Structure 1
Amino acid sequence: MRIASGDWALTLDPAAGGLIRALTRRGADILRPMPEGSAEPLESACFPLAPYANRIAHGRFDWEGETFSLTPNHPAIAHPIHGTTWLGEWMVRDSRGDSVTLVHAHTADADWPWSFALTQTLCLSAQGLTARLAITNTDARAMPAGLGFHPWFAREDVTAISFGAKGLWLGDAEMLPTEHTAPDALGDWSTPSPLELPHLVDNCYTGWDGTVRIARRDGDLVLESAGTPYLHLFVPQGADFFCAEPQTTMPDAVNRDAPAPLEPGATRALEMTIRSA
């Protein structure tokens, strides 16, 4: 499926994972395009994170007096990661030339023991993309709920990025948070900085100010998100992409900084914008 507006065009997979397959501006890749024929979510351009973001350590956590155990959900990663909806089936609820709304329903199971409904809306304008994600608890019990987006930005034309944050979680070899430290511990992103680093960055920044500025040779970009105090930055050495992921919770949040309970019938939402500066 394809939507477009002005200089912007987006292709997506409306069934598997609610995945964005490509996002372009004036024909140039803004997000890393998904290989033709691929069904691997980790090769996509962007996918939604729900009902939790990033890893849950060993899949184990306590919630309201009960202990839960989840199994890993991707063969490449030892811990359950990014929730269930990036691996689930979605349906198109509404589609227009410049927008689409997808819905996903989850019934409580071993992968997530609460039922919920999720809505993802993707809208293009002359300025860029606005993506909205909303989760509603359809279970009879309160549940923990974290949301996020996982955009994979094309890196070739990017010269620098910058953003503000108050802290940074260092991680262990399995990318689980270990120590909260100063935001410049792995590089100072408060001023425009190149992505060529001597080390991997796969870390969560706390107290994020909600904006990432991306300098590109063909025109700068801005990533914005409201209500997401966490930014997970993934900058692998030598790759053709980087990820800047707005999230409502930190990795392993249910074991560290648990989200407020989402009561039965209640909804939690976030919005992400990727636009020309």
Structure 2
Amino acid sequence: MSVSGAQSPTGEQYEISSGPYRAVVTEVGATLRQLRVDGRDILAGFGPGDRISGGHGQQLLPWPNRLRDGRFTFRGTRYELPLSEPERHNAIHGLVRWSGWELVGHTEDSVSQRITLFPQKGWDTTLRSTITHRLSDRGLTVRVEAENIGDRAMPFGYAAHPYFTLGERAVDEIEVTAPAASYLEVDDRLLPTELKPVDGTTRDLRSGTPIGERNLDTAFTDLQIDPEHRAWRIRLALGERETYVWADANHRWVQVYTGADRRDLGVAIEPMSCGPDAFNSAITNDGLVVLEPGDTYHGSWGVYGR
């Protein structure tokens, strides 16, 4: 799809639909650009002629969130990545979010895309990743597969970065219910310092209260899994509208981001397989996997609402 005769900044636009749901996924970053139910936005997305900002809808791998100084040591080898967050001297959000993903399947209700990440500065194996967005009358399911097709073992983590809206004037109005018992304290570079219980703090979202004046850019863990669905669920609600974000047990963390200076951009709910700086920190490496040659990571998350 072109925009005003020019190629969209996010490449091809892949539309899918099923029942009341409609979504658009882009070539660049396998990014979830739009998600609607009954004609109303669930996703705080962006237009086909816009550039991605704030990580909206992007797929983050082979690590989520931040790596301190862009450095990590694995099996005795020191790796150094480009500092993609130079103001905090971190490497952030992986290596594939600005790349074009190959289309491998597109039907009325699903789109599958693949990327091959070759060895480069700070990354030393070949990783083939496939993302499938699929709609049904029950909402959106995103399936993630990452296979190490190279000759070296490497650590691996994954996250998605969708922002959500319920028609609010500011995120303060949104009620959030998140079944998380622990949250991560961070320093001024947003790197981990301590894991703490949410009990008695403003980070306790288990009872479902409006965001209000809370400024969240917080990683949560110890997420309660619903045994019936074998997934955790976060509920966003405002008036008659509600949205559920869910993820399977391979996503042991979630980042909740409300914005600091801008409160009208939606709230980000980011399923993560491991926590910030997991390649370095024992505090956040729960869920971190090591992909030996031939190993594959699988994970699923999704959204439904009204």
- Give the TM-score normalised by structure 1: 0.92
1:21 to 33, 58, 64: 33
The separation in 2 between residues aligned to 1:172 and 1:35, in whole angstroms, is 34
2:212 to 187, 193, 196: 196
The separation in 2 between residues aligned to 1:196 and 1:156, in whole angstroms, is 16
> Residue 234 of structure 1 corresponds to which residue in structure 2?
257
Question: Are the structure 2 counterparts of residues 105 and 246 from structure 1 closer, same or farther at C-alpha, using a change threshold of 3 Å?
Answer: same
Equivalent position amino acid for 2:204 in 1 = D
Q: Which runs of 5 or more residues in structure 1 are unaligned?
A: none
Alignment check: 8 A CA contact 2:41 2:166 kept: no
1:253 has 2:278 as partner:
yes
- Following TM superposition, by how much is the alpha carbon of 1:61 offset from its aligned partner in structure 2, in angstroms? 0.8
The separation in 1 between residues aligned to 2:88 and 2:167, in whole angstroms, is 27
> Residue 19 of structure 2 corresponds to which residue in structure 1?
6
1:160 to 152, 170, 175: 175
Question: Are the structure 2 counterparts of residues 195 and 155 from structure 1 closer, same or farther at C-alpha, using a change threshold of 3 Å?
Answer: farther
Number of matched pairs: 274
- Following TM superposition, by how much is the alpha carbon of 1:203 offset from its aligned partner in structure 2, in angstroms? 1.4
Residue pairs, 1:1-277, within 5 angstroms:
1-14=14-27, 16-42=28-54, 44=56, 46-73=57-84, 78-157=89-168, 159-184=174-199, 185-198=201-214, 200-209=215-224, 210-226=232-248, 227-237=250-260, 238-257=263-282, 258=285, 259-276=288-305
- Following TM superposition, by how much is the alpha carbon of 1:148 offset from its aligned partner in structure 2, in angstroms? 1.6
Q: Secondary structure at the match of 1:190?
A: coil
Q: Which runs of 5 or more residues in structure 2 are unaligned?
A: 1-13, 225-231
Equivalent position amino acid for 1:234 in 2 = Y
- Following TM superposition, by how much is the alpha carbon of 1:76 offset from its aligned partner in structure 2, in angstroms? 6.7
- Following TM superposition, by how much is the alpha carbon of 1:128 offset from its aligned partner in structure 2, in angstroms? 0.8
Alignment check: 8 A CA contact 1:41 1:47 kept: no
Equivalent position amino acid for 1:12 in 2 = V
> Residue 6 of structure 2 corresponds to which residue in structure 1?
none
Question: Are the structure 2 counterparts of residues 75 and 85 from structure 1 closer, same or farther at C-alpha, using a change threshold of 3 Å?
Answer: same
- Following TM superposition, by how much is the alpha carbon of 1:43 offset from its aligned partner in structure 2, in angstroms? 5.8
The separation in 2 between residues aligned to 1:90 and 1:17, in whole angstroms, is 6
Deviations 1:74-116 (A, max 9, x none): 5676411111121222011000001010101111101522210
The separation in 1 between residues aligned to 2:243 and 2:149, in whole angstroms, is 37
- The alignment-based identity, stated in percent, is 26
Equivalent position amino acid for 1:194 in 2 = P
Alignment check: 8 A CA contact 1:84 1:111 kept: no
Alignment check: 8 A CA contact 2:102 2:115 kept: yes
RMSD (Å), alpha carbons: 1.8
Alignment check: 8 A CA contact 1:208 1:230 kept: yes
